[in-house]
Amino acid sequence: MLREDFAIQANIRRMLARTDIDASQMEFGTVKGVVYIQGTFRHSRFNPSWDSDKANQFAVNSLYLLEKKIRRIAGVSDVIFQLNNWKKEKGHWFQVEMTKEDETK
Amino acid sequence: MKPRGNLIYRQILDEIGKQVQIHPNYADLQNQFALILMVDGKMERAEIHFLEAIRLNPNYRDAILNLGFLYMETKRWKKAEEIFLSEAKRRPRDGFLHHVLGILYLQTGRQEEAAGRICKAMQSHSHYRDDYRKKGVWQRGAIRLDPKAESALKRIHSLPYAQFHNFIGLNLAKRGKFARAVKELKKAEGLNPDEFIFHANLGTVHYYQGAYSKAIQEFQKALEINPLYGMGYANLSYVYGLMGRSREALRCMIRAVRLNPRYADLRYNLALLYNDRKQYRKAVSELKKALRINPNYLFARINLGVLYEDQKRWKEAKREYRKILRITPDDEHVRKRLERIS
């Protein structure tokens, strides 16, 4: 752990509150500057008139933006996403089906 | 202040109305919706939703008090009195309830009973003495209920309006409209300065805004009113952490953990702070306690593995890393750490 780990945590908490992401379904931890994000990624608000393609694109953009914002925090060296419903492979985000166990969490 | 005159209030009213239709069994939503309807002057509909909130959760204090205020607003004094007397019996030291009963008795011409309640309110908190002095009710060590003082007191029906501004403020903060949220929360605080949660909410919004000194002030006010508010200490700790004041951050997080010993996340954060101050044994102990509360708390396990590794306790470090890889086999960072020490 680096000296900044606690400050990184406090910064992420603050940053998440300033986004449209439903932070109540996510957990985050910091280990020597490496940030872990777990849980379910959801927006707290989105336009109900959007079709699923548009909603997905919005989610993908939000995930890229979230990663960018976290990396900008002083002391952060890497971000690892371990989400139930989205996965990043070769730089691209894909939606994945949640298991029944994840859905009931 | 009426919602119909304000676009944001109107939007929030519509949104909550839709949510109430989707989730009719959420007492919190019923109370929020009723509150906005009441401030909008729709008293009959508001009463229905307050009653529904109380039916869903008979101990829901906010909804009970809001219903009491609705009865006062609609001059149903007997019903209002029943509610506030019953609450005052449950919480005899709550000055606000005596204050409200004092106003209720003034409204119904029962001056002697009003004076008794005003005395009790003053005994509970100095704020009431100052307030009564300003309004001319408390003069030279005695209660004076002359017509001028009475009329100043009767105007105060603050609680539902304070709750309303608090609710709107929180809603605006969720939308990222922090400056407006602060204005609403300040209105709530001004109407009922004794309510710790209004100060805490204002502190949280200042923290999100990056106004750290103001955040500290508000959290401290909340903790003066309610010293058992553990999350207030945790939030203070985060703010001090962001300001680089790690000693104060640690002191506050220790208090937060003492008040919420079963909250694994607080223990995890306390471990980070101990580690920052190179108190490794205490850090390990807190991480272990966090894992006893929640054995699947992955970050705590990773931090524990890294701490063992730093102390060259290879066997323990490997054990923790292996446990993590059993849960998340794709974690390359942990895999590399395990390979390096194997």
Look at residue B96 and tell me whether its pLDDT is greater than 50: yes
Look at residue B5 and tell me whether its pLDDT is greater than 80: no
When pLDDT is averaged across residues B98-104 and rounded to a whole number, the result is: 89
pLDDT band at B207 (very low <50, low <70, confident <90, very high): very high
* Domain with A95 in it: 5-104
Tell me the β-bridge partners of A29.
A36
Q: B141 and B164: one domain?
A: no
Number of domains in chain A: 1
Residue-wise burial string across B212-239, b where 16 or more C-beta atoms lie within 10 A, e elsewhere: bebbbebbebbbebeeebbbbbbbbbbb
Q: B114 and B175: one domain?
A: no
Q: B246 and B110: one domain?
A: no
Look at residue B81 and tell me whether its pLDDT is greater than 90: yes
Q: B145 and B8: one domain?
A: yes
Decide the pairing of beta strands A34-39 and A78-83: parallel
pTM of the model: 0.78
Domain boundary among B241, B260, B279: B260
Tokens encoding B273: 């702070």
Q: B129 and B18: one domain?
A: yes
Which of 12-41 (A) contact B at CB < 8 A? 13-14, 17-20, 27-32, 34, 36, 38
Number of domains in chain B: 2
For residue B133, tell me if it sits in a domain.
yes
Q: B7 and B154: one domain?
A: yes
Q: B144 and B230: one domain?
A: no
Domain boundary among B226, B260, B294: B260
Q: B104 and B60: one domain?
A: yes
For residue B113, tell me if it sits in a domain.
yes
Per-chain mean pLDDT for chain B: 89
| Residue of chain B whose Cα is closest to the Cα of A20 | B175
pLDDT band at A1 (very low <50, low <70, confident <90, very high): very low
Burial class (CB in 10 A: 0-12, 13-18, 19+), A51: exposed
Can you tell me the distance from the alpha carbon of A25 to that of B113, in angstroms, rounded to the nearest whole number?
51
* Domain with B215 in it: 160-260
| Interface of chain B toward chain A, CB-CB under 8 angstroms | 173-176, 207-208, 210, 238-239, 241-242, 244, 246, 249, 265, 268-269, 272-273, 275-276, 283, 298-300, 302-303, 306-307, 328, 330-331, 333
CATH of the domain at B223: 1.25.40.10
CB pairs under 8 A between A and B: 73
Please give the pLDDT value at position B4. Answer: 47
Q: B187 and B78: one domain?
A: no
Q: B118 and B87: one domain?
A: yes
CATH of the domain at A66: 3.30.70
